[in-house]
Amino acid sequence: MKITITEPGIGEEDEIIIRCKQMDEHLLKLVYAIKAGQEKLTVMKGADIVQVLPKEVYYFEAVDNKVFLYLEKDVYETKLKLYELEERFRGTDFMRVSKSVIFNLSKVKSLTPAFNGRFEATMKNGEKLIVSRQYVPVLKEKLGL
C-alpha cells in the first residue's frame, strides 16, 4: 500500500482520495474513523452549548431518557439517542457494551474478567464500566481475541 500526503494550495480544502481495487473491511473502517473523527458533537452543560471532538469522549451513557457523554473530567448531555450514536460511530473505536453504555475502546486502560461472563473495563480516567456478557463476544472480536 502506498500513502501519499501533499499539502493543499492556498484556498484549497483538505481532501482525501482513496484508490483501491476493492474496498475491503479494513479500508471501510478507516474511512468511518476519519469521518467520525472530523465531525464534532454539539452538546450541552447547563445552559452552555459546546462542541466536542469524538476522540475526547470516554463513553456515552443513557440515564432516565437522557444521554450523557463523559470526557476525562467533564460530563455533557446530548440530544442524540444511544442507537443514533451507535450508528454514527459504526466502524470506529466506539462500541456498545451494555443496554445503556457505549464506550470508546481507545480510552480503555484495562479489561478484567468479572462474574457471570462479564468484563470490567477500567478507563484511562480511572472510571470503571461493566461490559455485559451479551457484548463480550463482540468486544473479543474487536480486540482480535
Domain that holds residue 80: 25-143
* φ, ψ of residue 34 in degrees (nearest 5): -65, -45
Contact 58, 52 (CB under 8 A): no
The CATH code of the domain that includes 72 is 2.40.50.1020
Q: Kindly state whether residue 115 falls inside one of the protein's structural domains.
A: yes
- Give me the pLDDT at residue 89, please: 85
Domain count, the chain: 1
**Which three cell numbers mark 64?**
432516565
For the ranges 43-52, 102-111, 135-144, the lowest mean pLDDT is seen at 135-144
Alpha-carbon separation of residue 97 from 3, 33, 47 (angstroms): 34, 19, 30
Contact 7, 66 (CB under 8 A): no
> Looking at the predicted structure, is the pLDDT value of residue 77 above 90?
yes
Q: What is the pTM of this model?
A: 0.74
Q: Kindly state whether residue 75 falls inside one of the protein's structural domains.
A: yes
> Looking at the predicted structure, is the pLDDT value of residue 36 above 70?
no
> Looking at the predicted structure, is the pLDDT value of residue 17 above 90?
no
Percentage with pLDDT > 70 across the chain: 95
**DSSP code of residue 117:** G
